[in-house]
Each structure stands twice: as structure tokens, then as C-alpha cells.
Structure 1
Amino acid sequence: MAASHIFKVVFVNQGKVYEIYARKVSHGALFGFIEVEDIVFGERSAVVVDPSEEKVKAEFEGVKRTYLPLHSVLRVDEVRQQGISKVSTMEGSNVTPFPMPMYTPGDKK
């Protein structure tokens, strides 16, 4: 039986830290982007609703595949079990670093 891979992807978007779970993560076809496909959410009872996961689920509803800028990805882990997707605020500073280019062409003389 093939092992089922689950990846936890942590990234920054508009001053918030997102933690999502997906079945497929790769470098993709776009230079400088991480491709995250088949985002999964926990199957919770209709009686108990986690508002943090519902917020992420609503934001990614209908998304088949998303491309994350490489400089916004904090961490990608392959995990044994799926956790709860969530959005949290960045702590520590109110300064957002300016995105640095991944590739800087050399001097053309």
C-alpha cells in the first residue's frame, strides 16, 4: 500500500502567518514560486466548528492549485498526521521586509 503524503506549508501573506495542509507540494513551472496542490481540511463534526480553520477553508474554497512566492514560504514539512489549518498574526514587529529578488542578472557590458 502506498504511503499517503501530507505536507504542512507555513507562509506569510499580508502580515499574517498561514498554516495549511496539502497532498502535493513542488517547485512548479513558475520560476520563484512553490506550487501547492490538493489542499486538505479536517473533516469536523457539524456540531463543533473551529473558526480559525473555517476562515482558511473559506479563503481557499474552490482553489485547485495555488502558487506561493518563494520568499513568502517559511517552512514546508512532511508530516504523519494532518493538523488544523489556521491563520495567525505575525508577532514581534510591525515592519514587513521588502521582498528580495531571487535572481539578479549580472552586469551587461
Structure 2
Amino acid sequence: MKNTLYKITFHNHTKVYELYARSVAASGLWGFTEVAELVFDVHEGLVVDPTEERLRDEFGGTKVLHLPMQSIIRIEEVERKGQSAIRDASTGEKVVTPFPMPAKPR
């Protein structure tokens, strides 16, 4: 079913990532899970989520993501997309990516 949406939570280095995708399946690579058709918010206004932008920069061109099974924390089938997140693995707190600030004039 094309409208099925999954929330994938997984470890990536020292962070926990939460991404959304339309397709999750066993990978052809032994020990991996295949995640495809990643879903990102489309912002047409002035409000931009820096975490969403960081995830789009990292995974936007990804056709298929092969995640090691041991890195996956949870895969949930959800009704609608929530906010994607990057969290610190030890504390669970969101990692905030600040907007670049303009340099102070001298």
C-alpha cells in the first residue's frame, strides 16, 4: 500500500535518528534492513526546521538506506508524519542544530 508510512528509529554513531519512510523490507545484504522512499517535510514558507534540513542534507539523495539490524531501535507504522529528530544516544535529548549567525561587524 503506497500510503503506508513508517517511523524508523536507529543508532548512528553517538546519536539516535528518527526518520520517516514509505518502504521498509529485509535487505538483500545479510544482516541489514532496507529503508527506501524517505519522507521529508516540504517547507515553502519562512519557518524551517534545522533538524529536518540537516537530515535532508545527509539523506536527501539516498535512494535506499541499508541499516544494520543491530542499529535499529524500533520501526513503527504510523498514521502521519511527525517531526524527524536527532537525539543524543546517552541522554535522549534532541540535538539542536542552530542557524548560522551573521558575523558581527567590526
TM-score band, normalised by the shorter chain? 0.7 to 0.9
In structure 2, list runs of 5 or more residues that go unmatched: 92-106
Alignment length (residue pairs): 91
Corresponding residue of 1:46: 45
The 1-side partners of 2:37 and 2:57 are apart by 15
The 2-side partners of 1:46 and 1:11 are apart by 30
TM-score calculated relative to the size of structure 2: 0.80
The 2-side partners of 1:87 and 1:59 are apart by 12
Corresponding residue of 1:80: 79
Larger Rg: 1
1:32-83 per-position Cα deviation (integer Å, ceiling 9, x unaligned): 0000000011122330000111111110021110100000000000000011
The 1-side partners of 2:27 and 2:90 are apart by 30
Give the root-mean-square deviation of aligned CA atoms.
1.3
Superposition deviation, residue 3 in structure 1 = 6.2
Amino acid in structure 2 at the alignment position of 1:17: V
TM-score calculated relative to the size of structure 1: 0.78
Corresponding residue of 2:26: 27
| Kept in 2: contact 1:42–1:83 (CA 8 A) | no
Which 4+ residue blocks in structure 1 deviate beyond 6 angstroms?
none
CA spacing shift, 1:37–1:57, aligned 2, 3 Å: same
In structure 1, list runs of 5 or more residues that go unmatched: 93-109
| Kept in 2: contact 1:41–1:84 (CA 8 A) | no
The 2-side partners of 1:58 and 1:89 are apart by 19
Corresponding residue of 1:36: 35
1:50-69 aligned at under 5 Å gives the runs: 50-69=49-68
The 1-side partners of 2:12 and 2:2 are apart by 31
